[in-house]
């Protein structure tokens, strides 16, 4: 059962900085000095307890972040979803959630000012950081210019060929198979989180762990959706097909500059190897069926899938897997969808090209 821990906040109130007042110092900035332990609870209960902060060798706090941005004459860009982490202990917990060890290869998406990069370097990891903003890419490159195990690429992650960038690092690792896989540890811009998840999770051949800082509501929805609710969607089937997700930590919005409108959360995805994927004849046809099943809110499957085969054939397939003929997509588990796909393919019921490779 996943536990929710409420991370300590370094700010007592939202720090408002304008483009023309970027060098000002917030009057109410202060660091928490007390920590509390919390009971382990279900993720859906969203307990807001405080976590113990670890000692750290370098602070990437408000002042350091402000200085870094000023050095490039930058303000956070809303279009890029830039929210900079002000609490180094959160970065340490991100790294701990991925169990980063010396010698690990870690992909970081959107390093910003390099605060998380710094913690990864201190852990002994080799870091490949991909940053879309050319000014921030230059800043991180300069910050770690004397560090051999950091490489910064100025690219849009959603468009780059990450595999070709990582393989030279992984091929040089002659240890066991698990050590030849990289890890992903990132404080993602909220507006690209779903796209990044869709790109990363099917890459279990080169990644073992994906640990992301996401919007909290999205994190809970992705990790622990309830059947028979509007929150249950095709992305939930996708995530559980390729990984074992776990909600790790609540991160209050006051840990960021600028302060977002919502809290964040750390989520860990342990990626599956292809041999551990659910047994389907074609992943392309399987997800095509799943996406079609959810088209049209609360439609019965015999309606939403009738472009694949007739309603009566869908009803027969549902009965073959011991489900009611009136079943709706939000009532099916991933195992149910796998079984339904298998029956449809076995009986050659479909004529829809979208279900074929």
Burial classification of residue 173, based on how many CB atoms lie within 10 Å of its CB (0-12 exposed, 13-18 middle, 19 or more buried) = middle
Cβ neighbours, 10 Å, residue 125: 25
156 marked ligand binding residue = yes
CATH value at residue 289: 1.10.8.100
pLDDT at res. 25:
39
Residues 91 and 179 occupy one common structural domain: yes
pLDDT at res. 68:
64
Q: Tell me which DSSP letter residue 267 carries.
A: E
Residues 166 and 295 occupy one common structural domain: no
Residues 270 and 307 occupy one common structural domain: no
According to DSSP, the residues that pair with 268 across neighbouring strands are 211, 246
Residues 298 and 230 occupy one common structural domain: no
Six-digit token pair at 125? 């990891």
Residues 85 and 224 occupy one common structural domain: yes
Nearest CA among 264, 261, 257 for reference residue 16: 257
Burial classification of residue 142, based on how many CB atoms lie within 10 Å of its CB (0-12 exposed, 13-18 middle, 19 or more buried) = middle
Residues 106 and 185 occupy one common structural domain: yes
307 marked ligand binding residue = no
Q: In which domain, by residue range, is 346 found?
A: 283-355
Six-digit token pair at 71? 């050095």
Which string of DSSP letters, residue by residue, matches 157-226? GGGS-HHHHHHHHHHT--S-GGGGSEEEEEE--GGGHHHHHHHHTT-TTTEEEEEEEEEHHHHHHHHSPP
Per-residue pLDDT of the chain (357 residues; tens, 9 = 90+): 444 444 444 433 333 333 334 334 333 333 333 333 333 234 334 433 333 333 344 566 655 666 666 566 666 566 556 677 889 999 999 999 999 999 999 999 999 889 999 999 999 999 999 999 898 999 999 999 999 999 999 999 999 999 999 999 988 654 445 457 999 999 988 889 999 999 999 999 999 999 999 999 999 999 987 777 788 999 999 999 999 999 999 999 999 878 889 999 999 999 999 999 999 999 999 999 999 999 977 799 999 999 888 999 999 999 999 999 999 999 999 999 999 999 999 886 554 444 444
187 marked ligand binding residue = yes
85 marked ligand binding residue = yes
Residues 269 and 297 occupy one common structural domain: no
According to DSSP, the residues that pair with 151 across neighbouring strands are 128
pLDDT at res. 24:
40
pLDDT at res. 206:
96
* Residue 32 lies inside a defined structural domain of this protein: no
Residue in the structure block whose two tokens are 């991370």: 7
Phi, psi of 266 (to 5 degrees): -90, 125
124 marked ligand binding residue = no
83 marked ligand binding residue = yes
Count of domains for the chain: 2
Nearest CA among 278, 282, 108, 288 for reference residue 200: 108
At residue 257, the 3 state secondary structure works out as strand
Whole-angstrom CA distances from 40 to 49, 140, 198, 224 are 10, 37, 30, 16
């Amino acid at each position: 059962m996943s536990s929710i821990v409420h991370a300590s906040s370094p700010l007592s109130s939202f720090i408002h900085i304008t483009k023309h007042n970027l060098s000002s110092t917030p009057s109410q900035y202060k660091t928490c000095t007390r920590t509390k332990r919390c009971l382990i609870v279900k993720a859906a209960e969203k307990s807001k307890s405080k976590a113990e902060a670890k000692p750290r060798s370098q602070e990437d706090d408000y002042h350091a972040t402000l200085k870094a941005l000023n050095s490039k004459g930058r303000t956070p860009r809303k279009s890029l979803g830039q929210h900079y982490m002000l609490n180094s202990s959160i970065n340490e917990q991100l790294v701990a959630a991925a169990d980063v060890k010396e010698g690990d290869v870690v992909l970081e998406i959107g390093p910003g000012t390099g605060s998380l990069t710094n913690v990864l370097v201190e852990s002994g990891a080799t870091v490949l950081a991909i940053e879309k903003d050319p000014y921030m890419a230059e800043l991180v490159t300069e910050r770690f210019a004397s560090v051999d195990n950091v490489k910064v690429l100025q690219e849009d992650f959603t468009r780059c060929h990450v595999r070709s960038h990582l393989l030279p690092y992984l091929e040089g690792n002659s240890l066991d198979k698990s050590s030849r896989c990289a890890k992903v540890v990132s404080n993602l811009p909220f507006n690209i989180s779903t796209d990044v998840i869709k790109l990363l999770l099917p890459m279990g051949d080169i990644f073992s762990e994906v640990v992301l800082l996401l919007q909290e509501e999205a994190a809970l929805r992705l990790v622990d959706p309830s059947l028979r609710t509007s929150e249950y969607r095709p992305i939930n089937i996708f995530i559980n097909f390729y990984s074992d997700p776990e909600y790790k930590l609540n991160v209050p919005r006051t840990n960021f500059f600028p302060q977002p409108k919502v809290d964040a959360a750390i989520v860990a995805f342990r990626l599956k190897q292809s041999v551990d994927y659910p047994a389907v004849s074609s992943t392309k046809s399987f997800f095509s069926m799943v996406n079609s099943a959810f088209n049209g809110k609360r439609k019965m499957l015999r309606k939403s899938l009738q472009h694949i085969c007739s309603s009566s054939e869908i009803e027969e397939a549902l009965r073959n897997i011991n489900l009611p003929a009136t079943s709706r997509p939000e009532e099916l588990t991933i195992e149910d969808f796998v079984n339904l796909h298998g029956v449809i393919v076995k009986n050659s019921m479909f004529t829809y090209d979208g279900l074929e490779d």
